[in-house]
Amino acid sequence: MAVFRGTFLGLVVVTLVVSATLSAAHPEGFNFGWGSRWGSKPSTDHHGGGHAPAGGSHGLFPQFYHSSCPQVNDIVISVLQRAIGKDPRVAASLLRLHFHDCFAQGCDASVLLDNSTTILSEKGAGPNVNSLRGFEVIDEIKAELEEACPRTVSCADIVALAARASTVLSDGPNWVLPLGRRDSKTASVKSSNNNIPSPRSNLSTLITAFKRQGLDETDLVALSGGHTIGVAKCSTFKRRLYNQNGNDQPDSTLERSYYFGLKSVCPSRGGDNNITPLDFASPARFDNTYFQLLLMGKGLLTSDQVLLTGNGRKAAELVKTYADNERLFFQQFAQSMVKMGNINPLTGLKGEVRKNCRRVN
């Protein structure tokens, strides 16, 4: 447990060096065990990954591009390896992009559309503006796929594939991913604003938001574990430090040394764009340390810590279980990612396959 000592100094140091640490975490030539072997079982020696069912609901199935674009996985991986090497935060950004896409009118790549005469972009919605990242990486993947397999691989599937690859590249689990989503011709700022929960949400609000998408409390806790990688801006948690309940007092659930460390990164005035890791103990690695930190009162966001303290017996028990059993967490995370990826996809003749992910054809 020595890694958790010295929180005050550690937070400052980790905030400064997290990018360099992440860069070193992904050596060249890493073998993912999935490549383009469509329909085969993913490697199960990678932290218990590969246990999610292949699925086939909603008209999606893993072998969708078996004949039309068999190299799709290899292209996604190649682009992501380069992108993460240049900007290590890309992995977490792409995982989050998939979540924000699926929670607004389904997994249809609507979040990628730019403003136009007919589109009011979801990028301007409250949960997304000056926050979502990774669009240029999706553009690069799409460009290479258009060269290899023109008008074949949808932007919605690219987002889902990039989220999986980002997890695996961060030493997380692998899963069999159902494919065949098509791209929307519309976007919905209203859906983004209404359906994507705030980082200040209490447990009840989180459970309701996930239930609205067909996801249960187990999915909520497991998918929240994606915060084992990535960073957050001070603006998303500053209230916890200075005025959590409107009484000019910090959140009482914050562990004391962690609280003082966060204050050194996020002053009461200014600094809203300063960043700090969501999981300061192992920011480069997709693991279960996120849950161990919650047990210590060292969850960064309100929406993180309430999984343990929010008067939800099931959520709290799951936090304890995943903190103790990384393999079980990885299994459930993989299953919940497949389930989330099945939220209202467009299939068949619905929607389209965009040539440019930023605009309709």
Rounded CA gap, 94 and 163, in Å?
5
- Residue 154, phi-psi category: left (phi > 0), alpha (psi -120 to 50), beta (remainder): beta
Q: Is 100 assigned a catalytic role?
A: yes
Residue 142 structure tokens: 């799409």
Decide if 35 contacts 74 (C-beta within 8 A).
yes
- Set 47, 51, 98, 100: catalytic member: 100
Rounded CA gap, 17 and 19, in Å?
5
Rounded CA gap, 354 and 253, in Å?
46
CA 226 → CA 68, 81, 92, 332, 333, distances in Å?
Answer: 32, 19, 8, 12, 8
Residues tagged active-site: 100
